[in-house]
């Protein structure tokens, strides 16, 4: 049964399993103790640190093990920000960072968090990121906050992922690291998604990663702090791991994590080429096999094993359930698959469709035949969900291809610029994604070319999906304004 | 080769190993995902939570898994203190808590940390603990700080271990919990050392524990927060574990931890009786086999598997090395075995000898024959260390027996009460434990009965060990005063 959610967690690598079993026997004791079991544990810990540091590209004494990638990020953000408190309180991040980075930044900087926007492929512009380091000018994606100018002087820390976890887009880390160095700001790189494939290039200051993303066991994160980086741990004092990660080390898992990182790296080049070809196949075929699909993320500057697309008029949860029933395990950034009923902040920052979203991330060793079986099964599953929702059909089954990189989404038109006329009003209040978009699609043909449709919706996903639908269907998105209940979204028929 | 340091870490229980292996295959996926691997992981997680909650004696929705016992304590202290900020900032703890508790309290309360002293057995007095909740009157062990009166009003949180990790003494948790309830203060119980043996009785509000203490794998702690306890997590937002423990769950280890807790509990009563008899044997025989030994901790109100003693005129590190060479792995609270060269804060709070300290903690299943082999080997190893240090010998090999519970150690005599005369001066400056005490013992016969000896020392252990030596040798400890270098310790010869 093919599992295509490696970006969440990969099954344990055989090398990790073997190393874990050996270390459970030889490395259960406290490495701080002087007796033989302790000394043996210490040797295993030191060897694992050496191996992990080599894979990261840092010195062993710059690297500590944490209980998870999330905890590595939390420690990195709080420790680096505290070490730079005199410089200022602002933290500059990309708008598409993992929620662990965003929440950690929020915790230390609050209003002083500056989110730098991305283009439609999910990539930050290094020049724009560099500008935010000094001016605090963030993105349009976080309206009204994060201007940073009044948030306590300078920038304490910047954070940029090496590759996006939801759409696979690689970030220009080396260029941003140079800009950070020039500005005297340390850069934290969240390398969770890319470390299996290779070290992160460039003059970063801090790096965080997570073992269960590369086939290591859960319970192990990496935190590297390069020499010369100001760092003041914020957890209560603890002598383990250079005072940077409190608590008894999870040694068997650490040994397994280091061994599997070395093992996946040995195969990385060949496996990256093989999986990248399979991803290219998915990127090319899905829009041909399924109508009204948007493949998102960068088509070249991307992780080898990850591809994401969204399907118009599809309920993400129903799609996942259908794929699961067909034997495929995938993830989704659709609002209906999240506990908060909001669409993925990554898709939102990119300004792309969120409904019917599917992320496919192939574990190492994925068979070509399984990918083909997925491509065979997908059209039927999507059609079934659409039929169930009584979704509009596209004549001729013509979908839209991958969207080219463009500028940021969203216009600047405030409510004042909107026409007073509402045209045809669709009341979608109380209805969840993808219903508001389906109801819009159903009526657009009922107004004359140049005429308006207003969709009333209180579903958070509509804010993203109605403009995205307009982009896909070549209709004009006019703007939004508050309504008596929910929000009014205005669309003008183009053709 | 007998391993007698179960209180640090126990080898993996066979049930834990089996559960871990099964869960590595079935529980590696993200339990938050909707596909079958995720649902399977969720089932395992739910079952582990039910089992662990049953063993703790709480509801499953009151219990979360953390990456370690240390992290459970850190979260508990910061979360509970923040939840009670309006009541005050003071945190009341026993002086013999694990350093994780003391450092966490320090981090949230700073000067508002109140340490309640213990008697010579290491036990807190419930009435004294109760008084500290409202008055902030702590112990004599933390001179000059922790008066708490000016530290932000009332008491936010109290913390008391179920049993001490260094000397095994059980604490009166139920009585203290009642006092806390009466004062409206939540009580955190660090149950790390006792949870294998049974649930913690009494009306506690929060409880923390650590799986690798009961034969579970490292990487798993428990945090229970009873309903009705005000609690505000201080880590950055994360939706896992009810928002109380950020990061991807270490599910295979969690499953193994829960399974082994259930397994050790099934054997707990019988194994406690068996190990307790072995500990009684050690407690009775060591003072007869080895001269000048102080067995510390309570002789009845104690953990079944743990016993600690200190040997006069012995270098702790040399003793550990000698025992290791003889095949025995034990721990020590002596200053020379710590990275900071200070004696254990627990022994210090108890006012007992810290030099030549040995903690024996028997793992479940320890063979009687191994304990007897230890008792056979110990006298020779101690004698060898003493011979190497040219230590004084006791005529007839008569040691001192277990010390009865008494009042607190340390007199109130300030420098003003000390005699101006110094008597015979022993310059032990620059010499480490146990040399100052050895030099004192060598000269005490040189002064007349009623005469004074002054030991000059800059070793932190002398402050504890010179008074302890006086107590053991029935000499009078007169007091200390600052010297030009280090401290002058005054002793009067009694007989």
| Same domain? A315 vs A253 | no
In a domain, B237, yes or no: yes
pTM above 0.80, yes or no: yes
B136 to chain A, minimum CA–CA distance in Å? Answer: 22
Cα B215 from Cα B335, distance rounded (Å): 28
Cβ neighbours of A331 in B, within 8 Å: 33
Residues B294 and B373 in one domain: yes
Task: Give the model confidence (pLDDT) of A185-210 as tens digits.
Answer: 999 999 999 999 999 999 999 999 99
Question: Which of A399, A423, A430, A377 lies closest to A313 in space, CA to CA?
Answer: A399
Could you tell me if A125 and A178 lie in one domain? yes
Same domain, A346 and A460: no
Structure tokens at B230: 């005000």
Nearest chain A residue to B316, by CA: A34
Q: Flag whether B406 is in a domain.
A: no
Q: Write the pLDDT tens digit of every residue in A292-328.
A: 999 999 999 999 999 999 999 999 999 999 999 999 9
Distance, in angstroms, between A332 CA and closest chain B CA? 9
Tokens of B392: 């004084």
- Residue A408 in domain: no
Tally of structural domains, chain A = 3
Residues of B with a known catalytic role: 336
**Enclosing domain of residue B452:** 415-492
Residue B78 CB coordination number (10 Å): 22
Q: Helices B36-56 and B251-289: crossing angle, nearest 10°?
A: 30
Q: Give the pLDDT of residue B400.
A: 42
The answer to whether residues B64 and B107 belong to one domain is yes
Q: How far apart are CA B330 and CA A38, in angstroms?
A: 10
**Alpha carbons A289 and A397: distance in angstroms, whole number:** 8
Decide if A73 is inside a domain: yes
Select from A397, A429, A444 the last residue of a domain.
Answer: A397
Looking at residue B147, what is its pLDDT? 42
A436 DSSP assignment: H
| Per-residue pLDDT band at A140 (split at 50, 70, 90) | very low
Per the CB < 8 A criterion, the answer to whether A292 and A252 are in contact is no
Pick A339's closest partner by Cβ from B106, B107, B239.
B239
Q: What is the pLDDT of residue B357?
A: 96
Q: What is the DSSP letter of B225?
A: E
The answer to whether residue A353 scores a pLDDT higher than 80 is yes
Domain boundary among B264, B297, B329: B264
* Average predicted confidence (pLDDT) for chain A: 91
Nearest CB partner across the interface for A329, out of B24, B37, B104: B37
Q: Report whether A77 contacts A188 (CB < 8 A).
A: yes
pLDDT number for residue B137? 56
Residues A293, A223 share a domain: no
DSSP-assigned beta bridge partners for residue B307? B360
pLDDT value, residue B418: 77
Of residues A144 and B136, more confidence is placed in B136
Question: Is A70–B12 a contact, with Cβ atoms under 8 angstroms apart?
Answer: no
pLDDT digits (tens, 9 = 90+) for B130-168: 999 997 555 443 433 444 444 458 999 999 999 999 999
Cβ contact, residue pair B253, A251, below 8 Å: no
Do residues B231 and B121 share a domain? yes
Q: What integer pLDDT is reported at residue B268 of this predicted model? A: 97
Nearest chain B residue to A26 by CA: give it.
Answer: B11
Residues B361 and B466 in one domain: no
Q: Looking at the DSSP assignment, which residues form a beta bridge with residue B114?
A: B92
Secondary structure of residue B426 in the 3-state scheme: strand
Per-residue H/E/C for A306-330: EEEEEECCCCHHHHHHHHHHCCCEC
Residue of B nearest to A41 (CA): B9
Contacts of B103 in chain A (CB under 8 A): 236-238
Q: What secondary structure does DSSP assign to A104-171, as a single string? A: HHHHHHGGGEEEEP--TTSPPPHHHHHHHHHH----TTSTTS---TTSSBSEEEEEEESB-TTT-BBP
Radius of gyration of chain A (CA): 24
Decide: residue B30, CB within 10 A, 0-12 exposed, 13-18 middle, 19+ buried.
Answer: buried
Mean of the pLDDT values across residues A241-266?
Answer: 96
Domain end (from A397, A423, A452) = A397
- Look over chain B and give the mean of its residue pLDDT values, rounded to a whole number: 91
> Which of B104, B218, B324 is closest, CB to CB, to A36?
B324
In a domain, A281, yes or no: yes
A18: closest chain B residue by CA? B21
Contact B274, B365 (CB under 8 A): no
Q: Specify the pLDDT at position B410.
A: 43
Q: In angstroms, what CA-CA distances link B376 with B285, B319, B326, B380, B391?
A: 10, 15, 11, 8, 21
Residue pair A224/B259 in contact (Cβ under 8 Å)? The answer is no
Instruction: Examine residue A63 and say whether the peptide bond preceding it is cis (omega within 30 degrees of 0).
Output: no
Residue in A33, A247, A339 nearest the CB of B331: A33
Give the minimum alpha-carbon distance from A224 to chain B in angstroms, rounded to a whole number: 18
- Shared domain for A303 and A160, answered yes or no, is no
Query: B33 to chain A, minimum CA–CA distance in Å?
Result: 7
Q: Which two tokens stand for residue A216?
A: 């290591």
For A312-344, b where at least 16 C-beta lie within 10 A, e where not — what string? Answer: bbbbbbbbbbbbbebebbbbbbbbbbbeeebbb
Cα distances from A119 to residues A300, A353, A407, A444, B167, in angstroms, run 15, 14, 5, 28, 62
CA proximity to B308, closest of B343, B273, B268: B343
pLDDT tens, per residue, chain B with 495 residues: 799 999 999 889 999 999 999 999 999 999 999 899 999 999 999 999 999 999 999 999 999 999 999 999 999 999 999 999 999 999 999 999 999 999 999 999 999 999 999 999 999 999 999 999 997 555 443 433 444 444 458 999 999 999 999 999 999 999 999 999 999 999 999 999 999 999 999 999 999 999 999 999 999 999 999 999 999 999 999 999 999 999 999 999 999 999 999 999 999 999 999 999 999 999 999 999 999 999 999 999 999 999 999 999 999 999 999 999 999 999 999 887 777 778 999 999 999 999 999 999 999 999 999 999 999 999 999 999 999 999 887 643 343 443 333 444 444 444 456 777 889 999 999 999 999 999 999 999 999 999 999 999 999 999 999 999 999 999 999 999 999 999 999 999 997
CATH (domain of A440)? 3.30.110.40
The alpha-carbon gap from A103 to the nearest alpha carbon of chain B, in Å, equals 5
The enclosing domain of B53 has a CATH number of 3.40.640.10
In a domain, B253, yes or no: yes
Whether B154 and B204 map to the same domain: the answer is: yes
Count Cβ atoms below 10 Å from residue B140 Cβ, excluding itself. Answer: 15
Asked, for residue B404, whether it belongs to a domain, the answer is: no
B30 contacts in chain A (CB < 8 Å): 5, 8-9
**What is the rounded distance in angstroms from the CA atom of residue A423 to the CA atom of residue B446?**
110
More reliable by pLDDT, A123 or A413 = A123
- Strand B306-311: give its sheet, edge to edge: B293-296, B306-311, B357-361
Q: Taking CB atoms and an 8 Å limit, are A218 and B74 in contact across chains?
A: no
pLDDT tens for A37-62 read 999 999 999 999 999 999 999 999 99
Q: How far apart are CA B76 and CA B61, in angstroms?
A: 16
Structural domain contains residue A156: yes
pLDDT of residue B414: 47
Phi, psi values for residue B306, rounded to 5°: -130, 135
The reply to whether A92 and A229 lie within a common domain is yes
ipTM: 0.91
Q: Are strands A155-161 and A90-94 parallel, antiparallel or unpaired?
A: parallel
In which order are the strands placed within the sheet that holds A306-311? A293-296, A306-311, A357-361
pLDDT of amino acid B341: 79
The span from the CA of A321 to the CA of B231, in Å, is: 36
d(C-alpha B178, C-alpha B95), whole Å: 20
Helices (H), A217-354: 251-289, 316-325, 345-350
Q: Are residues A428 and A458 in the same domain?
A: yes
CATH code: domain of residue A391: 3.90.1150.10
pLDDT average, residue stretch A479-491: 96
Distance of CA B393 to the CA centre of its chain: 31
Q: In a mutagenesis test of the A interface, which of B218, B257, B317 is the best target, namely the one with the most A β-carbons within 10 Å?
A: B218
Q: Which two tokens stand for residue A95?
A: 């708008």
């Amino acid at each position: 049964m093919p599992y295509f959610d490696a970006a969440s967690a990969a099954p344990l690598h055989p090398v990790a399993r073997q190393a874990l079993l050996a270390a459970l026997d030889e490395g259960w004791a406290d490495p701080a103790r002087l007796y033989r079991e302790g000394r043996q544990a210490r040797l295993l810990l030191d060897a694992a640190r050496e191996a992990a540091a080599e894979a990261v590209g840092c010195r062993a004494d710059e690297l500590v093990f944490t209980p998870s990638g999330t905890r590595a990020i939390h420690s990195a953000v709080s420790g680096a920000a505290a070490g730079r408190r005199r410089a200022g309180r602002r933290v500059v991040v990309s708008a598409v960072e993992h929620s662990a980075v965003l929440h950690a930044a929020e915790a230390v900087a609050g209003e002083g968090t500056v989110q730098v926007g991305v283009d439609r492929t999910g990539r930050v512009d290094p020049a724009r990121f560099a500008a935010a380091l000094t001016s605090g000018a963030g993105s349009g994606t976080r309206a009204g906050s994060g201007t940073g100018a009044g948030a306590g002087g300078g920038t304490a820390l910047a954070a940029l992922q090496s590759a996006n976890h939801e759409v696979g887009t690689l970030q220009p880390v080396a260029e941003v690291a140079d800009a950070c160095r020039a500005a005297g700001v340390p850069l934290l790189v969240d390398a969770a998604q890319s470390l299996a494939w290779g070290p992160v290039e460039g003059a970063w200051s801090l790096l965080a990663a997570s073992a269960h993303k590369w086939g290591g066991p859960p319970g192990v994160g990496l935190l590297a702090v390069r020499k010369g980086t100001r760092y003041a741990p914020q957890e209560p004092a603890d002598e383990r791991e250079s005072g940077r990660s409190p608590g008894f080390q999870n040694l068997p898992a650490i040994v397994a994590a280091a061994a599997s990182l070395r093992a996946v790296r040995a195969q990385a080049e060949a496996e990256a080429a093989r999986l990248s070809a399979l991803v290219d196949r998915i990127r090319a075929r899905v829009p041909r096999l399924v109508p009204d699909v948007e493949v998102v993320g960068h088509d070249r500057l991307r992780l080898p094993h990850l591809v994401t697309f969204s399907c118009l008029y599809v309920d993400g949860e129903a799609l996942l359930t259908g794929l699961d029933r067909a034997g495929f395990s995938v993830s989704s950034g659709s609002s209906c698959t999240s506990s908060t009923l909001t669409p993925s902040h990554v898709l939102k920052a990119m300004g792309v469709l969120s409904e019917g979203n599917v992320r496919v991330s192939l574990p190492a060793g994925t068979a070509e035949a399984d990918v083909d079986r997925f491509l065979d099964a997908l059209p039927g599953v999507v059609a079934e969900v659409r039929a169930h929702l009584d979704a509009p059909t596209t004549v001729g089954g013509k979908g839209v291809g991958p969207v080219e990189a463009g500028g940021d989404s969203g216009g600047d038109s405030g409510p004042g610029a909107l026409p007073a006329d509402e045209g045809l009003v669709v009341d979608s209040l109380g209805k969840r994604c993808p219903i508001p978009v389906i109801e819009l699609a159903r009526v657009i043909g009922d107004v004359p070319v140049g005429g308006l449709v207003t969709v009333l919706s209180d579903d958070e996903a509509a804010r993203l999906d109605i403009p995205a639908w307009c982009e896909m269907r070549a209709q004009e998105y006019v703007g939004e304004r508050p309504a008596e209940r929910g929000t009014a979204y205005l669309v003008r028929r183009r053709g």
